[in-house]
Amino acid sequence: MNEFTDSMNRMRTLLVQAANDTNDNTSREAIVAELKGIEENLKSLANTSINGQFLFSGSAVDVKPIADDGTYQGNDIALNAFLGSNNQQKYNMTGAELFLGEETEVQRTITSNVVNGNLLQNNPTLQATPQDSDPLTGSSTIRNLMGDTDNIVDATNKHFFYLRGTQSDGTAFKEKITMKDADTIDDLLAKIATAYGNTGTVEVVNVSLTSTGQIVIEDKLKGSSKLDFSLVGATDLSGGTAADVTDIDLLDGGETDFTTALTAPGLFLVEFTKSGLTSSAGGGVLGDAAAVTEGLVYDRAEFSKSGSTLTSSVPQIVQIDNAFAKSSTKLSEVADLSQGTAGTLDGTRLKFVGVDINGNNYNAVINLDTAGSTFSLDTNFDGVQDTTYNLYNMDSPRVNTDADKVSYQQLMDVMNMIVTDTLPAGSPGTEIEYDQAIADSQFLGNTFLTQDGKISFKDINSPVTQATMALYDANSDDFSVGADASVMTFNANNSLTIRDPKTDFFKTINEIIQAVQSYSNNPDSNAVDKRNVGIQNALVMMDDLQDHTFRTQSVIGAQSNALSNSLERVGILEISTMSLRSSVIDTDLAESSLRLSQLTLNYQAMLSTVGKVSQLSLLNYL
């Protein structure tokens, strides 16, 4: 652990150097090379073994804890030493604690990644006030942020912001915010904070603007990993009402390039988050309007693809204890049950769309119902689900599963059947046909939860899968008054995570190195890696990693002290036992035999005397 902390101290020093603008590309490449060397050293330390037993694998001491890609392969089982009667002391530190541990005192912080500037800057014909030429700050007007085509500061609400996200307590929300030209960005940030639950007396989040125009949201609640954020702004530069919609897909086709919008005034969109994800909301697959602008998509984006694997971006977090979901976790334990039918998943519809492993489109809906859940497919893509299958439970007798009892394993079984095109033989299908379809699908693909709670699919028979998938709440695009937010989110064009109570050591180290490799001090969606956190945020992430490592080292120190004290007590007992043993073993047998004989004679003499005394008559006694 001392070597760990020394290596991390060196890494932080290099990050500070990398943040210096005086570095040229050669200098930063040298810094990146050394950072990668430190990363390999940290992996080597993590895989330390003694006598063939790995230190950080939990009880799986024969398993190398850290794989080449940085994922943890051990378990979270402690090894205990018995110090006495009913007294045990843990003597190992599992990799689950060190590399995936949780810091309950950390406040989650997220940020948008689009660099937004003053759209009126350096455009004298559009300036109405001197500050219109200044960089964006909280006091800049919404007109500075959204642009304009004339010098008139309109008094009407003509700017619309479509906000989606999740509050600290896991409550999902979406809200349409209206603003005037003269309103300030601080006014917008205040409305965003109100949507997260801030009041005049209570602050649950802190919302701020960076010098490069990104919005940063800091959770005031410690230990929660649920906070999320997505925002897109819309203005009709032609003076119409095209920016004010109830279905966010109606904004598609709006211009995101302000220069182009000036030459052909119309609907202009300002995005705040870009993830480089592809939308599955078009092409006739969904029956929805195509949504190709990233800011409009949010949770309808396709899972990211890497070779044979598709992976979601949103970890599934259990509401009650902030833990990552497991295959046995019920969807109702993660979902925001304040949406839809309060207190239940009954009536929830999850759309599952994409391309299967054979290259064929699919359009499915998973219907969660208290009376019995099903899943259905639109086989001819006419907008009508025309083939329905039962989603069986494991009770006896087997029946359709209650919406609130559907587990992630059941959800992933359905996904796996659809994406591998191995559906039950009959519709709605018997339990035997259902089980057989699941078994058959597992020969072609595997859908599972990763160690950080994300849904992933692996195409078993292809190194580069043809499959794509998107899974989202059916009412995701609805911004009508009173419309519910998404009950669940699986993959999203959402904010970047800067701080989080949950630690993923080597994933974070990799993100830190990529930040330096991108030569960017702040998040920038124009970079090759759109979700790069930037060097400044990498320093914050490194500080959190170091704090976590220091705390872990303190725990190890306490364990070592307890074991040392126990060893000292055992040493004293050993000396006492040896002294007693010596007094027994080192006895002179001849001397002891003589003393025993003397004691025996004395005892016999005493018995004789007692016998005579007992025989005295009263006369003799007197």
Neighbours of 310 (CB within 10 A): 25
CB 365 within 8 A of CB 376: yes
Q: What is the structure's pLDDT at 115?
A: 92
Copy the structure tokens of residue 487.
């009950």
Confidence band for 284, pLDDT divided at 50, 70 and 90: very low
pLDDT interval class at 191 (50, 70, 90): very high
- CB proximity list for 445: less than 8 A, separation 6 or greater: 357, 416, 419, 420, 457, 458, 459, 460, 467
Each residue's pLDDT tens digit, 89-106: 888 889 999 999 899 999
C-beta separation of 242 from 254 below 8 A: yes
| Alpha-helical segments (H) within 157-214 | 185-195
**Measured between alpha carbons, how far is 305 from 468 in angstroms, rounded to an integer?**
8
pLDDT digits (tens, 9 = 90+) for 30-87: 999 999 999 999 999 999 999 999 999 999 999 999 999 899 999 999 888 887 777 7
- Domain positions in the chain: 1-101+503-516+529-586, 109-299+492-502+517-528, 311-473, 589-621
% of the chain residues with pLDDT over 70: 96
Average pLDDT, the chain: 90
Beta strands in 226-356 (DSSP E): 228-236, 267-271, 304-306, 309-311, 348-355
Encode 348-362 in three state secondary structure.
Answer: EEEEEEEECCCCCEE
1-101+503-516+529-586: CATH homologous superfamily? f41 fragment of flagellin, N-terminal domain (1.20.1330.10)
287 pLDDT higher than 70: no
Model confidence at 154: pLDDT above 50? yes
Which pLDDT score is estimated for 285? 36
| pLDDT tens-digit map of 103-127 | 999 999 999 999 999 998 877 777 7
Spell out the residues 6+ positions from residue 503 whose beta carbon is closer than 8 angstroms to its own. Answer: 99, 100, 101, 102, 103, 544, 545, 548
Q: Is residue 573 scored above 50 in pLDDT?
A: yes
Question: Predicted confidence band at 280 (pLDDT cuts at 50, 70, 90)?
Answer: low
- Across the range 336-347, mean pLDDT stands at 92
| Secondary structure string (H, E, C) spanning 483-494 | CCCCCCECCCCC
Which one-letter amino acid corresponds to residue 90?
Answer: K
- In the numeric block, the tokens 């580069």 are attached to 464
Residue 338: per-residue pLDDT: 92
The answer to whether 471 and 350 have CB atoms below 8 angstroms apart is yes
Quote the percentage of the chain above a pLDDT of 90.
66
- Contact present, 281 and 294 (Cβ < 8 Å): no
Least confident span in 6-15, 436-445, 466-475, 610-619 = 610-619
**Which stretch of 284-293, 358-367, 504-513, 554-563 has the lowest confidence by average pLDDT?**
284-293
Average pLDDT over residues 588-597: 82
pLDDT band at 618 (very low <50, low <70, confident <90, very high): low
Give residue 292's pLDDT band: very low, low, confident or very high (50, 70, 90): low
Asked if residue 340 lies in contact with residue 476, where contact means CB atoms within 8 angstroms, the answer is no
Q: Check residue 286 and give its pLDDT.
A: 36
Residue 22 pLDDT: 80
The total of other beta-carbon atoms located within 10 Å of residue 263's CB is 9
Mean pLDDT of 144-169: 92
pTM for this prediction? 0.87
pLDDT greater than 70 at residue 337: yes
CA angle 170, 176, 182 (to 5 degrees): 125
Which pLDDT does position 611 carry in this prediction?
77
Quote the pLDDT of residue 291: 44
pLDDT at 26: 87
**The pLDDT of residue 283:** 36
Average pLDDT for 593-618? 82
End-to-end CA distance of the chain: 90
The 3-class SS string of 500-537 reads CCECCHHHHHHHHHHHHHCCCCCCCCCCCCCCCCCHHH
Helices (H), 129-249: 142-146, 185-195
- Sorted by sequence, the CB contacts under 8 Å of residue 493 that are 6+ apart come out as 230, 273, 274, 275, 277, 294, 295, 297, 298, 299, 301
Give pLDDT tens digits for 443-469. 999 999 998 999 999 999 999 999 999
The answer, yes or no, to whether residue 281 has pLDDT greater than 70, is: no
